[in-house]
Amino acid sequence: MEEMEEELKCPVCGSFYREPIILPCSHNLCQACARNILVQTPESESPQSRRASGSGVSDYDYLDLDKMSLYSEADSGYGSYGGFASAPTTPCQKSPNGVRVFPPAMPPPPTHLSPALAPVPRNSCITCPQCHRSLILDDRGLRGFPKNRVLEGVIDRYQQSKAAALKCQLCEKAPKEATVMCEQCDVFYCDPCRLRCHPPRGPLAKHRLVPPAQGRVSRRLSPRKVSTCTDHELENHSMYCVQCKMPVCYQCLEEGKHSSHEVKALGAMWKLHKNQLSQALNGLSDRAKEAKEFLVQLRTMVQQIQENSVEFEACLVAQCDALIDALNRRKAQLLARVNKEHEHKLKVVRDQISHCTVKLRQTTGLMEYCLEVIKENDPSGFLQISDALIRRVHLTEDQWGKGTLTPRMTTDFDLSLDNSPLLQSIHQLDFVQVKASSPVPATPILQLEECCTHNNSATLSWKQPPLSTVAAEGYILELDDGSGGQFREVYVGKETMCTVDGLHFNSTYNARVKAFNKTGVSPYSKTLVLQTSEAAGAHETKPVKDTDSEEQTLPFPVPSERLPLRRMSPFSSTLNLQPSFPGRSYFDFRSSPHQLSLHSSLQSLNAPVAWFAFDPGSAHSDIIFSNDNLTVTCSSYDDRVVLGKTGFSKGVHYWELTIDRYDNHPDPAFGVARIDVMKDVMLGKDDKAWAMYVDNNRSWFMHSNSHTNRTEGGITKGATIGVLLDLNRKTLTFFINNEQQGPIAFENVEGLFFPAVSLNRNVQVTLHTGLPVPDFYSSRASIA
């Protein structure tokens, strides 16, 4: 019942109602509080003046309430009766429960009568503190308002239910707590006093004893004074006026204003309204029950939110820790590469120190010897050896020529960590359910007319859809490993054209691209299937199926006016290359709902071949190129290394070199090498090269400065050296004049290899590529 307490308090004083009266607006006020908020009105607004003017409006008839209100409909309801000459402005105040009330313009005159009987100032007006509607009182004053007997009874029961335990009324000293009440005697007894003063015998045996709480209620429910009519104080309410919705007396029906109204029996209407109130309470009870269930649901949600928050935070921390662990592992791997580069640089510099030290010792010895020879006084003996000494001195001087005194390794580390994609990904790390303020870019469209493959490189071009309104900040190009594996990023940036070099020959790659901005990334484009070259020759096209399943041929030449961005392939077995292949390539595409296909159509020979030339960009500075980089020689007496442009990581490849010039029996070397092989020593001196070096009589295989398999048979001018790299069987074999030179030179070779040659100024060779594998080796391999 504590929730009901606010309903039982007066809006003016904030205490429980005392002698509450009912205003025509159905709100209640204490009778004393109603007197305190009366306001005197001008004479012209009095009921008498209105009756004199012929107005027949009832003072308290709320059907005509607007005619009695001193405020307009647009008013806020707050104010006072200012503006009249007879009534000064009176500010509104607030009651203890926050309701605005209007105090009287002047204090009421002192009186010794009760508030109900005290005279009301003439021409008074009262304003309801809850709905702010105003009424002008008639001559009866506050007695014209009915008293709320029901509210009084509810307040009494509420107060008594909260009162202290009832005490025995017959205890002489300290009253004990009452245990029963006699309804006939109207006395509360404790057990000892009941046995002594109210024994259950004789006439007292017929009295009804009830518990104290029930007795207290019964006492409060004892017959009250019957409510009387406000217009006829000597008459009790006997009927109910349906039109006015109020109880009336017999005299009101005979001669009052209710004489022509429909009336019903008071008891019948009492029961009817009780039923209506009960039915209304049933609906309200259902709403209250739903509200309680809703509150339980909200409290459960609070607990679930707390639990989910803890769980989500733990998940977020675990995910971030996993990223940190992955970054730490990658950090360790990168540090290992730095240490490896560090050791490699130290090894190269120390080898150069050792090499220069030996050569300097030889040079110093020759100088000291020549000085001693100069000291000799035998002219004939001196002339016998002077020419040879002069040639040796010039030769030794040439050996200290260009590049010899140049460090083979720089002190700077050529490694450069590209962390921008990772930083960009970290900045884009966000919760997927967070709605962005702007949309993601549209899906890019691959431009097939500008996409192409060329030997073992691929060029891709894309663009935003023509009607796209969302700008893209960059693009992400992804490529698989050529074997149907996972996609990996090969380019992230703003360009819309990219060339990926160093792919496997005769392999099929899948490519796709997506756009991104600050909001997020777009969906992937359609997958593009790229076929790298397997043969060279004339061009051809293949039939293409578009989205309507109609066969047609659509050749697309590679545009030459656009310089594409070149990117290194992301795979460990490939590097950034720029293969040289004359002529144009034509390509077909196949469009379906799921995939686009791009194929390099080159003339098919009996076996896959590759076209390439020597690479000036990676060669030693002493190497001299001619014949479109197919012919090389050297300006130094020392051996210098030159590599081919194309690297191989799988398949069978064969190429030849012809000896154009061969003077003074030098030892050129032929074979394969890694991209970072030493360029100023003979091929095979370090662990990055696998070679055969040969003179005019015999040959040797060499790797990591280890010489093996001496084989008779050398070279002369016009000889042909063949190199066969079989990465399917992981072997390297050499040929001289179409005859195999010795056994299989090297086995278990795997990785990325470049054709390589080392020579000096006494040798000139020409490279021949695009050659099929020798027939005898093909037949031998098929038998094996």
Average pLDDT over residues 159-172: 75
**Which of residues 2 and 302 earns the better pLDDT score?**
302
For residue 437, the model assigns a pLDDT of 56
Say if residue 44's pLDDT is above 50.
Answer: no
162-177 CB burial, b ≥16 within 10 A, e <16: eeeebebbbeeeeeee
- Residue 164 is predicted with a pLDDT of 54
Q: Give 245's pLDDT tier (boundaries 50, 70, 90).
A: confident
Tokens of 64: 């005509």
180-182 and 237-241 beta bridge pairing:
unpaired
pLDDT band per the 50, 70, 90 thresholds, residue 353: very high
Section 373-390 average pLDDT: 89
Higher pLDDT, 152 or 473: 473
Whether the per-residue pLDDT at 237 is higher than 90: the answer is no
Burial 225-253 (b: 16+ CB within 10 A, else e): eeeebbeeeeeebbbbbeebebbbbebbb
Q: In the structure, what pLDDT confidence band is assigned to residue 267 with cuts at 50, 70 and 90?
A: confident
Average pLDDT over residues 327-332: 93
Structure token pair of residue 372: 């001693």
* Stretch among 108-117, 477-486, 500-509, 624-633 having the lowest mean pLDDT: 108-117
Mean pLDDT taken over the chain:
77
Query: What is residue 146's predicted lDDT score, i.e. its pLDDT?
Result: 84
Cross-strand bridge partners of residue 125: 39, 136
Q: Which residue has the higher pLDDT, 504 or 630?
A: 630
Residue 140 has pLDDT above 90, yes or no: no
Indicate yes or no: pTM above 0.75: no
Most confident range, picked from 274-283, 365-374, 429-438: 365-374
The winner for highest mean pLDDT among 481-495, 662-676, 766-780 is 662-676
pLDDT of residue 37: 82
- pLDDT of the residue at 43: 54
pLDDT-wise least confident of 56-60, 374-378, 763-767:
56-60
* Residue range 446-486, pLDDT digits in tens: 988 888 888 888 889 999 988 788 889 999 999 998 887 88
pLDDT class for 684, splitting at 50, 70, 90? Answer: very high
What is the pLDDT at residue 546? 35
Confidence band for 728, pLDDT divided at 50, 70 and 90: confident
DSSP structure string for 603-671: ---SS------B-TTTS-TTEEEETTTTEEEESSSS-EEEEBS--BSSSEEEEEEEEEEE-S----EEE
